[in-house]
Amino acid sequence: SFWLSFPIAVGLAAGVAAIIGALALRTRGVYFIMVTLAFGEMLFFLFHDTKLAGGSDGAFINYKPEVAIAGRMLIDLEKPIVFYFAVLAFVVLTIAVLTMLVRSPFGHALAAARDNERRAGSLGFPIFRLRLIAFVISGGLAGVAGYLAAAQFGFVAPQMLGWHVSATILVMVLIGGLRSVAGPLVGAFVLMGLEEVLKSNTEYWKLIEGLAVIAIVLLLPNGVRHLLTAAFGQAEERAPDISDKAAKVNHA
């Protein structure tokens, strides 16, 4: 049942994120990245070297989740086109929810903590709690993606916990833009599209892809969305002053 398995999957992912975040968020910068990658590797070897979830062979899921009420099928995820639009609906909903969060008092407080942690702390913002909540939300969204991936491919392997998956996601974020809700989605389109084009044209696609990613990051530090700004002459978004953020949070 989708109504049972989906909340459990997302809840467990968010719960694990809460535990990892409580430890990892005590570090900053590159150390934070290294700690989170280390946790990923620990979990990789836990599932790879034990019989949990099938060990190194992974676990097979031979059926799609059932979206039904009172025994009546509402959405037949066995049909590829239906599954596609179901995933697309999740993507749109995720972008909408994240946009609301960013524009909410919580989002303004989180941005204030990002821009000037010391000043935000002096204004009374609970920095650690804000970041932990954001980390847990991220973990829950990763749970949504993992659930849908398992439903699509019918297979879950320990390799999904490896550092290369995290690295790919980080590259998508860098390509799309760090300070844009839809930026990582754009980055995913660019990276996966580039990969598919290169795969079909050359056997050295990995080398060319790596060079292309380096060029994009160096030439477009604000991400691919910077091209739209240059093309249409839109003004860059001005980051609100931390005092503005504090005023909005306190007002709310």
**36 or 231: which leads in pLDDT:** 36
Per the model's pLDDT, the better-predicted residue between 53 and 205 turns out to be: 205
Task: Please give the mean pLDDT across all residues of the chain.
Answer: 83
pLDDT for res 239: 44
Residue 213 in this model has a pLDDT that exceeds 70? yes
Give the model confidence (pLDDT) of 164-174 as tens digits: 888 888 888 88
- Tell me the pLDDT band of 228, cut-offs 50, 70 and 90: low
pLDDT on residue 217? 80
Mean pLDDT of 169-189: 84
Phi-psi region of 195 (alpha: psi -120 to 50; beta: other; left: phi over 0): alpha
Q: What is the mean pLDDT of residues 212-238?
A: 68
Question: What tens digit of pLDDT does each residue of 28-39 get?
Answer: 888 888 888 888
SS (H, E, C) the chain: CHHHHHHHHHHHHHHHHHHHHHHHCCCCHHHHHHHHHHHHHHHHHHHHCCCHHHHHHCEECCCCCCEEECCEEEECCCCHHHHHHHHHHHHHHHHHHHHHHHHCHHHHHHHHHHHCHHHHHHCCCCHHHHHHHHHHHHHHHHHHHHHHHHHHHCEECHHHHCHHHHHHHHHHHHHHCCCCCCHHHHHHHHHHHHHHHHHCCCCCHHHHHHHHHHHHHHHCCCCCHHHHHHHHCCCCCCCCCHHHHHHHHHHC
Question: Helices 205-219 and 183-199, interaxial angle, to 10°?
Answer: 150
The predicted model scores a pTM of 0.78
pLDDT at res. 233? 54
Between 195 and 51, residue with greater pLDDT: 195
First to last CA, the chain: 39
